[in-house]
Amino acid sequence: MITEDNLKPDSLPVKTNLSQSQIRGSKDGSFLSASQKPRRVIHIFGKDKDSATAEHTLRKVNSKVECICYQKNLPKKLKAENADISIHINKKSPLNKKEANSLYRQLNSKGNNIKILKPLHDGESFCAWLNKQLSQGKSNSEMNKEFSEILENPTMLIPKPKNHISKLIDKDEKDIEWVIPGLIPKGELSNVSGMGGVGKSTMLLSMVSAITNGGIFNGKKLEQGNVLLLSFEDSAEKVLRRRLRSMGADLSKVLVADNLDSLDELCKEEVMDEYMKLYKPIATVIDPVVAFKAESTDINKANEVRKNYKVLNKIAQDHNVAMITVSHFNKGTHGRAANKVSGSVDMINGVRSAMQVYIDPDNENKRILVQCKSNFTKKMSHGLSFEITDNNVNWLGESPYSADDLSIMESQFERQDKKISCMLYVLNALKDGPIKAKEFTTKAIEDGHSERMLDNVRPLLTRSERTNVKGEGRGKGYSTIYLKDDFLPSDLRSRTGGLNE
């Protein structure tokens, strides 16, 4: 142990005051050499068994140096300007590489020159090195010289930015690999969406079957491989196995997860890395993606969707696996196909390929798969028609409709159906005679019809009559509504079953 008795200072020590921030020494000199305009020289150590002795020793070797024990709030207390600061890493103390990088970023301003130093020799901390030199009987001037050489040619850790930047010319070009050519790229996120019950999950199982067999899809041969199914809606034993067996899938290449409670749990990289490294799937299906979110996650907020998608995208790229998420349509009536997906727009913006499934407007027993977004190829201008039979999918060839075509038609049908539904409601409610307008409106809204739609429909079908109540004052009364004599537009008669009387 080094004590004051075996120190050999070249000069008498200078007494200094100690502050509660544990800053010791004077603030008007340099450890290495004096200059006409002195800079503060500061050494920051982690608190370990050697640090107290090292601090005391440094002050004896040269009183013009500040030795500081690392604290969480150190940068605010230090108030360093125009200083030479050395941060000494020691894995055995709180001042590790992460904390040193944080200190670097906080102090790297106001003319400060900062160095982050690894353990100097054979893994020794600076504190241990300094005590070793003293135990060998070296004088202060010898240690000063050796330490000067170390600081002039240090083994330093310079913190790198979190987002490492490089020149594009140094990047190698890579070809796009496909699990389903033109539709589902490898190493990227894709999405399939549609109304509930339209058959999107069954359609995806048809794709899964073709992948596990290395079969043909849309006239192109597929790469054979494992597929990981993460399904919350369909039971592996009751649904998935039966359907995939009927479709002729290689069940030995279909992987199912049993206990994933949320997308937040799934997004832990170590969890997914374990799956990817162990089974090496070329595609992973998350059906539906909202079932894997934690209760605290709001899918209507872009930043929370991006947080989950960011991790999934990293896993996809690290393991070159296609990540396919499944979503539902929202309740709105939108003309643009990409706006129909439930949740934030980033449910679509965050993926590289987005597909949708619609009911064929020419045949309600058929379905059409269309693409509403593609970042790597020209978006598919037509659809792929298919029909669902008992536990199987029959692909029927191309359909002339695009995603936006089908979205516009479906929106028009939805608006017209809502209008017809509201009209039939009015007809049924007033068939037995007049009703007070306020009571009618309240009951209609309770039964699920919007006030806006009622305002559109009532002028077509009804008339109103104002009744004043005598003795109640001006404005005290009520309105009564009743059916018009000729109330139904001719172009809607066929769709309402001829209800015109």
Beta-strand relationship, 184-185 and 322-328: unpaired
What's CA 132's distance to the chain center, in Å?
Answer: 51
List the domain boundaries for the chain. Answer: 4-152, 178-401, 410-492
Print pLDDT tens along the chain (501 aa).
333 333 333 332 333 332 333 333 333 333 334 344 567 888 787 766 555 666 666 666 566 677 777 777 777 677 778 888 888 776 666 777 778 888 888 887 777 888 887 665 455 566 666 667 767 777 767 766 666 665 555 454 445 555 667 888 888 888 999 999 999 999 999 999 998 889 999 999 999 999 999 999 999 999 999 999 988 888 888 899 999 999 999 999 999 877 655 555 666 777 788 889 889 999 999 888 876 665 556 666 666 777 778 888 888 999 999 999 999 888 766 667 777 887 777 788 889 999 999 999 889 899 999 999 999 988 888 899 999 988 789 999 999 998 888 888 877 766 777 778 888 888 888 877 788 888 888 888 888 888 888 887 778 777 787 877 665 556 677 788 878 766 544 544 444 444 443
**Is the pTM for the entire model greater than 0.75?**
no
Closest CA to 340 of 148, 198, 483: 198
Which residues lie closer than 8 Å to 206 by C-beta, 6 or more apart?
A: 247, 386, 392, 393, 395
Whole-number Cα distances in Å, 317 to 137, 230, 282, 330: 57, 19, 11, 29
CATH number belonging to domain 4-152: 3.40.1360
Q: What are residue 450's phi and psi, to 5 degrees?
A: -75, 150
Question: Concatenated DSSP letters for 366-422?
Answer: EEEEEEEEESSSPPPSSEEEEEEETTEEEEEEEES--HHHHHHHHHHHHHHHHHHHH
Which residues lie closer than 8 Å to 288 by C-beta, 6 or more apart?
A: 232, 233, 325, 326, 327, 328
Q: How many CB atoms lie within 10 A of CB 203?
A: 21
pLDDT value of position 26: 33
What's CA 89's distance to the chain center, in Å?
Answer: 34
Q: How many CB atoms lie within 10 A of CB 77?
A: 14
Please name the fold of domain 178-401. Rossmann fold (3.40.50)
Q: How is domain 410-492 classified at the architecture level of CATH? A: Orthogonal Bundle (1.10)
Checking 103-110 for CB contacts under 8 A at 24+ apart, the result is: 103/44, 103/70, 103/74, 103/75, 104/159, 105/159, 106/75, 107/75, 107/78, 107/80, 110/80, 110/81, 110/82
